Amino acid sequence: MLFNFDTSGDTPKHTCTARRDGVWVVFSCPLCPGFERRMNIQTGVMRVKPGAHPQVLHQGSFTPVGLENSYSLLN
């Protein structure tokens, strides 16, 4: 029996949703309860709650209204 895996596609990826919470941009994952990654847009500090699936790659982006910078997430 032959199994042919595409190893480059093995790592699951989730696309996060982003919202603004004061000076924080909060990324959360609809597929991972408890996952949260927040970035302070004034200091650049990032805080992470790994959630239920820490092995999953999370990506997302957020563009604040009225600000020129955009913030992206890719781990």
Instruction: Kindly list the residues in this chain that would bind Zn ion in the complex (CB under 5 A).
Output: 14, 29, 31-32, 56
Q: Whole-number minimum distance, CB 32 to Zn ion, in Å?
A: 3
- Which CB sits closer to Zn ion, 13 or 23? 13
Amino acid at 38: R
Distance (Å) of CA 57 to CA 14, 21, 35, 52: 6, 23, 12, 12
- Which CB sits closer to Zn ion, 50 or 71? 50
Is the separation of the CB atoms in 52 and 33 below 8 Å?
A: yes
Q: Whole-number minimum distance, CB 29 to Zn ion, in Å?
A: 3
